[in-house]
Each structure stands twice: as C-alpha cells, then as structure tokens.
Structure 1
C-alpha cells in the first residue's frame, strides 16, 4: 500500500481543531491540488471561496450550528459556478445558450466539478498532516448562506470544507461492505444486498458502543430512518431555480 492510499484509508472527519491558522503556502498547495481535479470538458464550473474573516465565520456558524465552522485553521466554501460562463465576452446569449446553461445537466456538471475539486483538496490537506470536515450543514439556510457570501446569479453554494490541525483523532467510522455497494455489469437486487446491510447494522452498533467519545446505541438503518423521517432543506430546490439553474 503506497502513501497516497494510506492517507485515503486513514480518513476521518475532524471536528475539533487547534487554534492555529494554515500558512499561505499550505493554502496555496491545497487550492492548486483542488484545481488539478478532473473537470467536465475543461469548463471548471465551480468556484472556491476561502473564509478567513472571523465575522463571516460567525455568520456562517449561525447558519450551520457546527462549532468547527468558526474554529478551524482555514475554511473553504465550494460553489457550483456557471456565472463566469454566462459573463464571458464574445458569448452569444441565444435562447439555446441560456437553456443549456440553466439546465439540470449543467447544475450537475458544476456540482460534480466542485465535489471532485473538494476531494482533491481534502486529500492534499490530509497528506500535509491536517484534518478536514465537510460541511453540508451550511445549507440549513441556503439563502442566508448565499447572502453572506454575496453570490451572483448562476452560483450555488454547495458545502464547506473546514481544515486545520487536529485537536483530537476520532476513531475511523466503518463503511458499508463493498458487496452492498459494488455492482458488476448490472444493479444487484436489494434482496441480495440485505444480508450485507444487516451485517453493517451490527458493525455500526458495535462501533457506536465502543468508540472513544459520543457513545450511543444505534444501527445504520435506525440512523437513516431518523434522517429521512423529517423533510429537511426543502427550500434548496426553489432557491437553485431562483439562481437561474436547474430550470429544465
């Protein structure tokens, strides 16, 4: 196993960071690594916003509710961004162009581009001995998330990435067995996945009982049931359309 794979396999979310900012060189290395991620047709339909202003972090914390939004070495925000494409000089803004730009397909392209860049950034940060945590909680109020960052039309804030020096090293959370996720040539019927999911339920129950902090008794199925029992962030769809994306 090489060092890159060891870094990937050693991933865990860090939610407590030391009070130490990243250096400019570290930030530059992480951002340049993010830029080297694959991107659809070289469109690069994403933008990254680095947040160092503590006042802005406090506002984002009010949206998220997670302490590591305001207490970290550096905070990156990843956005799907078709705005720069819309604003390019020499573009003929025909009806066909706008329909294409504002389609669901292009929103997916921007979202995937941003996610690929973020994962490159995450691995780069971890390879430097730093810890990371993804922050989807910033979409708890996506309009406020948008307004704090003053995002223009055709830009959608997706998630944050908190980076810093770990103050604690939590246990690595088990994942679903590959047999429940990896399908060969065609999708495996759920009935053939059930056994592996039941095994994972037991694994997660044992993990939650034995981990070093935040012990609880809960299976993965119970966790998922709790997550989807109450509709959340139902404002995201209308918000995205208000940004002139995902319109058809």
Structure 2
C-alpha cells in the first residue's frame, strides 16, 4: 500500500483546528491540485472562492448553522458551480448557450466538477498533514451566502471546505460494508441488504457509544432515517432556477 492510499484510507473530518493560518504557497498548491482534477469535456465548471476576511468567515459560520470551525481554521474555501465564465466566453464568440447552461445535464456536470476538484484539494491537504471538513451547511441560507460572496447569475455556491492544522484526533467513522455499496454487473437489490444494514447499525452504534461515552448510542440506520424523515432546504429548487440553472 502506498502513501496516497494510506492518506485516503486514514481520512476523518476535523472540526477543531489550531490558530495557525495556511501560508500563501500552501493555498496556491491546494488550488492547483483542485484544478488538476478531471473535468467533464474540459469544461472546468468549478470556481473556488478563498474566504480570508474574518468578518465574512464569521458570517458564513453563522449562516452555516453556527459552526465555529467555519470561522476558526487555517483557510476556508467555497466551491461553486460557475457557468458565468462560459457565458462570457460565448458572448466573445456571439454564440447563445443559455439553453445548455439551464439544462439538468449542465447542473450535474457542474456539481460533479466541483466535487472532483474539492476532493483533489482535500486529499492534497491531508497529504501535507492538514485536516479538512466539508461544510454543506452553507446551503442552509444560500441566498445570503451568494450575496455575501457577490456571486452573479449562473454561479452557485455548493459547499465549503475548512482546512487547517488539526487540534483534535477524532476516531475514524466506520463505512458501510463493501457488499452494500459495490455491486458487480448490475444493481443487487436483495434481502442481504437488510442484513448488511443491521450489521452496520450495530457497528456504528458501538462507535458512537464509545466516542461519546454513552451520550449517543444510535447507529447509522437510526440516525440517517431520522434525519431524512423531513425534507431540508426545500427552497433550493426555486433559488437554483433564479440563478439561471437547472431549468430545462
């Protein structure tokens, strides 16, 4: 097993960072790694906003649900789907690409591009001994986040990534059994899935019980189904369309 695989398999989310900012060279290296990610048809639909201003970071922390580590970290990145750049390119060549930008396919491409870029950045950060945590909470109040970051039409902030020097050693969360997520040749929808989930419920319940000293005892099945019982961020459909995306 090489060092890259060891780094990937050792991943865990860090939510407490030392009060030590990343230097400019490290930030630029991480962004270069993000840009090196695969991108659909060379479209490069991802834009990364590095938030350095302390007041903006504190506001983002508030908008994300009062998550302190959004403000207290070495650096905070916001990954955006960005078709504004493509619109400018189209205008330069007097070509109308509005229908393409508004398509569901374009929305999937932009989301995938941003996710691939972010994961490259995160693996690079962890290879340097840094810790990371993804922040989906910026979508709690995306109108305010978009305004705070001055995002024009066709630019949609998708998630944040806090990076920094770890000041905690959290346990590694167990993942689903491989048999539950890796299917050969076709989707395997069988009775075995329930047995695998029952096994995983017990494993994750034991993990949380040990990690919290008994304050949390629920497993993954209980946790996830409870969290999905009520839809979240239901405003997103209309907001995304108001940005000129995912209309067709």
In the alignment, is the contact (CA less than 8 A) between 1:12 and 1:171 conserved in 2? yes
Structure-2 separation of matches of 1:203 and 1:102: 43
The residue number in structure 2 matching 1:107 is: 107
The residue number in structure 1 matching 2:70 is: 69
* SS of residue paired to 1:159: strand
The residue number in structure 2 matching 1:91 is: 93
Structure-2 separation of matches of 1:38 and 1:2: 22
* SS of residue paired to 2:228: helix
Note the 1:174-213 alignment, pairs <5 A: 174-211=174-211
Change (3 A) 1:149 1:213: farther
Unmatched runs of 5 consecutive residues or more in structure 2? none
* SS of residue paired to 2:166: coil
The residue number in structure 2 matching 1:149 is: 149
Structure-2 separation of matches of 1:245 and 1:102: 5
Change (3 A) 1:102 1:213: farther
Note the 1:2-13 alignment, pairs <5 A: 2-13=2-13
The residue number in structure 2 matching 1:131 is: 131
Shift of 1:194: 1.2
The residue number in structure 1 matching 2:45 is: 45
Once the two structures are superposed, residues 106-161 of structure 1 have per-residue CA deviations (whole angstroms, 9 ceiling, x without a partner) of: 01101100000000000000000000000001101111111110100101110000
Structure-1 separation of matches of 2:7 and 2:170: 15
The count of residues paired between Structure 1 and Structure 2 equals 246
Report the more deviating stretch, 68-77 or 226-235.
Answer: 226-235
The residue number in structure 2 matching 1:162 is: 162
Once the two structures are superposed, residues 152-206 of structure 1 have per-residue CA deviations (whole angstroms, 9 ceiling, x without a partner) of: 0101110000000000010000000010001111101142311111110000011
Structure-1 separation of matches of 2:176 and 2:215: 20
Structure-2 separation of matches of 1:238 and 1:76: 25
Structure-1 separation of matches of 2:213 and 2:15: 12
In the alignment, is the contact (CA less than 8 A) between 1:75 and 1:161 conserved in 2? yes
Give me the TM-score of the superposition, normalised by structure 2.
Answer: 0.96
Structure-2 separation of matches of 1:16 and 1:5: 24
Shift of 1:213: 6.7
Structure-1 separation of matches of 2:42 and 2:190: 37
Give me the TM-score of the superposition, normalised by structure 1.
Answer: 0.96
Unmatched runs of 5 consecutive residues or more in structure 1? none
* SS of residue paired to 1:134: strand
The residue number in structure 2 matching 1:239 is: 239
Shift of 1:243: 0.4
